[in-house]
C-alpha cells in the first residue's frame, strides 16, 4: 500500500511523463517545420519514450491498486529560436524531470516504501542516459555553429534514431 501523499505525487509524475511526451511532440513539429527532418524524427522517438515511461508508471499504480486520476495535460510551446535552442530546452526539461524523480525517491525512502523506491531508481537511471544523450547533441551543434553543412550532417545522424522501448529493453 503506497502512502497517500506518495500516491498523489506519483499521479503528478504520471501527468509529467505524458506532458514530457507532449513537449517532445511540439519540438518534433518545430524541427519538421524548419526542415530538420532528422531532429524531428529524434524528438518523435523521444515522444515515444516518454509515453513508455508514462505507461510503466500507470501499470505500477494499477498493480498497487492506486485510484488513478488523469488531470489535464498542460499545453506546450512549438516555437523555438534555433536547433540549439530546442535541444537546450530539452536538456533543461530533463534536468527538471531528474529533480522531480529525486524528490519522489526521497519521499519513498522516508516512507520506507521499497517497491516504489525500486521503481523510481529505474527512472533515475534512465535520466542519466537521457541527459547524457542530449548533452552530446548540444556539444555537437555548438561545434558546428551555424555552418549549414555541419547542421545538415547532424540532422542526418539524428534521422537514424529508432524507438526501442526502454521499459522492455535488456
Quote the DSSP letter at residue 77: -
Least Cβ distance, residue 166 to ligand FEO (angstroms): 9
Least Cβ distance, residue 53 to ligand FEO (angstroms): 4
50 vs 113 by CB, closer to ligand FEO: 50
Half-sphere exposure for 69 (CA within 13 Å, toward CB): 6
Q: How far apart are CA 107 and CA 9, in angstroms?
A: 9
94 vs 113 by CB, closer to ligand FEO: 94
Around Cβ 159, how many Cβ atoms within 10 Å?
14
Residues forming the site for ligand FEO (CB under 6 A): 17, 20, 50, 53, 94, 97, 130
53 vs 89 by CB, closer to ligand FEO: 53
18 vs 151 by CB, closer to ligand FEO: 18
Least Cβ distance, residue 97 to ligand FEO (angstroms): 4
Least Cβ distance, residue 142 to ligand FEO (angstroms): 22
125 with 8: CB under 8 angstroms? no
Using alpha carbons only, what angle is made at residue 105 by residues 48 and 21, rounded to the nearest 5 degrees?
15
44 with 28: CB under 8 angstroms? yes
Amino acid at each position: 500500500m503506497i502512502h497517500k501523499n506518495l500516491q498523489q505525487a506519483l499521479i503528478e509524475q504520471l501527468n509529467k511523463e505524458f506532458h514530457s511526451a507532449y513537449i517532445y511532440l511540439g519540438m518534433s513539429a518545430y524541427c519538421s517545420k524548419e526542415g530538420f527532418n532528422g531532429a524531428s524524427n529524434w524528438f518523435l522517438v523521444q515522444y515515444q519514450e516518454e509515453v513508455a515511461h508514462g505507461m510503466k508508471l500507470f501499470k505500477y499504480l494499477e498493480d498497487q491498486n492506486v485510484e488513478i486520476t488523469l488531470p489535464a495535460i498542460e499545453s506546450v510551446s512549438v516555437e523555438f529560436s534555433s536547433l540549439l535552442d530546442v535541444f537546450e530546452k530539452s536538456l533543461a526539461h530533463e534536468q527538471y524531470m531528474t529533480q522531480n524523480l529525486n524528490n519522489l525517491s526521497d519521499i519513498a525512502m522516508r516512507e520506507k516504501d521499497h517497491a516504489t523506491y525500486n521503481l523510481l531508481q529505474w527512472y533515475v537511471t534512465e535520466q542519466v542516459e537521457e541527459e547524457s544523450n542530449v548533452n552530446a547533441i548540444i556539444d555537437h551543434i555548438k561545434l558546428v555553429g551555424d555552418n549549414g553543412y555541419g547542421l545538415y550532417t547532424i540532422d542526418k545522424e539524428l534521422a537514424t534514431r529508432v524507438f526501442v522501448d526502454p521499459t522492455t529493453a535488456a
